[in-house]
Amino acid sequence: MKATVRVEGLEKRYGLTPALRGVSFELTPGEVCVLLGPNGSGKTTLLKVLATLVRPDRGVVEVGGLDLRRHGRLVRGIIGFSGHQTYLYEELTVAENLRFYGRMYRVADLDRRIREVAEVFGLNDRLNTRVRALSRGFQQRTALARALLHDPPVLLLDEPTTGLDVEGRCRLAALLGELRARGRTVLFSSHAFELERAWADRALVLSAGRLVFDRPASDLPANVLNLGGAHARV
Amino acid sequence: MLGFDRLVALVAKDLLIELRSRDVAYSTLVFALLVLVIFNFAFELRAENLQVLAPGVLWVTFIFAAVLALGRVFAAERDRGVLEGLLLCPIDRGAIYLAKLVSALVLMLVVEAVAIPAFIALFGLNLPLLPLGLVALLGSLGFASVGTLFSALAAHTRTREGLLPILLFPISVPVIIATVKATTVVVAGDPWELALPWLQLLVGFDALFVGISYLVFELVVED
């Protein structure tokens, strides 16, 4: 099967500090993959490189068969990204935020699509609430709805469960299953893999910028989150 | 591709946020009016010194107020990390610059639309509004074009409030000189043709500054 995401020999430095060192992997359609690693291991940098927010120093990065360096704008059209920040305007309502981003992505039949993603994340009752009045959990749900709004073939989620309650996590888990069934590719990072083990087909583990584990998620040792020492063992 | 619909959406979003928060408009407007009042006390404008002082008074007020407004152009994005959200959109990043420029320009023109009548009333002047409005539009566009770019640049620094005027004033000197000279012609009631060279210079600088800023904006907002 042709890869949706292809990363080969990816390197990125911040000044003298290496963030990613020769990272290589491929993701295929319908694959849900979790990205693990301790703080500072390069998870966010890797996701931001794939999202075109950070320019790689070396290596090949392709999303949907498009080279990131040459086709950045086209790549941005086929990815959905949710980061540490919600990327939401606090003075606007949930619906206004989604409508704004929908217009940026030229989403067809936007009002219907907003209702759909609001339904997925249980936001229907809060569409007319200003973001600043939402709890952290509902802000995160709105952020995820924003990333999903244009129905991207590739979804990149940086710690998507941050701030989510049990219901929010269940909705996210159900969504990932649905995306897998529809052939979408999902790469998400996590700090709480014990809870989300069942969500992923495959696990990538980064340690100090190197990819040290790339196997089915079921092969991960139970103590993989005792990162540092555990990574050396993996 | 720029996309006029996206540009409109970006500007509408900025103006709606400003309409609700009124963060920038109120502070800038109050500041401009206060400066005019201070100048009114400091200078005694008479017929013989009117031509020399009035354009300077007006543009010092506008430029200081504009620096205040331009410093907040990327505030909503910077404070809440939303700029990355915009950079993720499949749009030409220059479109973000153009939208911010239009938003800043609208804000500056609103402030000027209130400040000019206040200036006329405070100093007891009789100025032709249409020519003065044209000069204000071209001068504000030139100042805002560079100011918007430097505001994006300064947004990433800790000393942004201090850095913006230091970057902005030297670069915008040609725009400020041309604007003040054209305003002098208007205030003196001289034939309109005398202002044309200055207006042509303004149009040239405006085109140059907008063009260069549009092209380099992507480099400024990249990691």
Q: What's the distance, CA B134 to chain centroid?
A: 13
B80 touches chain A (CB under 8 A): yes
Q: Which residues of chain A have a CB within 8 Å of the CB of B20?
A: 91
Reported as a single tens digit per residue, the pLDDT across A168-194 is 999 999 999 999 999 999 999 987 666
Q: How many domains does chain A have?
A: 1
Measured between CA atoms, the residue of chain B closest to residue A77 is B90
Split at pLDDT 50, 70, 90, the class of A232 is very low
User: Which tokens sit at A67?
Assistant: 């080279």
Reported as a single tens digit per residue, the pLDDT across B93-112 is 999 999 999 999 999 999 99
Looking at residue B47, its pLDDT comes to 63
Which value does ipTM take for this structure? 0.89
Which strands sit side by side in the sheet containing A58-63, from one edge to the other?
A17-27, A5-14, A58-63, A66-67
Work out whether strand A202-207 and strand A185-189 pair parallel, antiparallel, or are unpaired. Answer: unpaired
CATH of the domain at A216: 3.40.50.300
Do the domain assignments include residue A222? yes
Measured between CA atoms, the residue of chain A closest to residue B17 is A91
> Buried b / exposed e across A41-80, counting CB within 10 Å, b at 16+?
bbbbbbbbbbbbbbebeebebbbbebebeebbeebbbbbb
Chains A, B: CB contacts within 8 A come to 74
How far apart (Å, rounded) are the C-alpha atoms in residues B60 and B49?
17
Q: Which residue has the higher pLDDT, A194 or A68?
A: A68
Contact B90 A77 (CB under 8 A): yes
Looking at residue A226, its pLDDT comes to 57
Measured between CB atoms, which of A52, A53, A103 is closest to B5? A103
Q: What is the mean pLDDT of residues A97-110?
A: 96
Q: B88, B92, B96, B220: best mutation site toward chain A, by most A Cβ within 10 Å?
A: B88
Do the domain assignments include residue A197? yes
Looking at residue A204, its pLDDT comes to 93
User: Domain range for residue A39?
Assistant: 5-87+152-233
Do the domain assignments include residue A129? no
pLDDT averaged over every residue in chain A: 90
Q: Which residues of chain B have a CB within 8 Å of the CB of A85?
A: 80-82, 84-85
Give the type of residue at A52: T
Q: Which residues of chain B have a CB within 8 Å of the CB of A101?
A: 85, 89
pLDDT tens over chain B, length 223 residues: 568 899 999 999 999 999 998 888 899 999 999 999 998 888 876 667 777 888 999 999 999 999 999 988 887 677 778 999 999 999 999 999 999 999 999 999 999 999 999 998 888 888 888 999 999 999 999 999 999 999 998 887 777 778 888 999 999 999 999 999 999 999 888 888 899 999 999 999 999 999 999 999 998 887 6
Do the domain assignments include residue A146? no
Q: For residue A209, report the phi and psi dihedrals to the nearest 5 degrees.
A: 85, -5
Could you tell me the residue ranges of all domains in chain B? 4-221
B79 touches chain A (CB under 8 A): no
Do the domain assignments include residue A132? no
Split at pLDDT 50, 70, 90, the class of A13 is very high
Measured between CB atoms, which of A52, A74, A92 is closest to B17? A92
Contact B88 A85 (CB under 8 A): no
Measured between CB atoms, which of B3, B5, B89 is closest to A76? B89
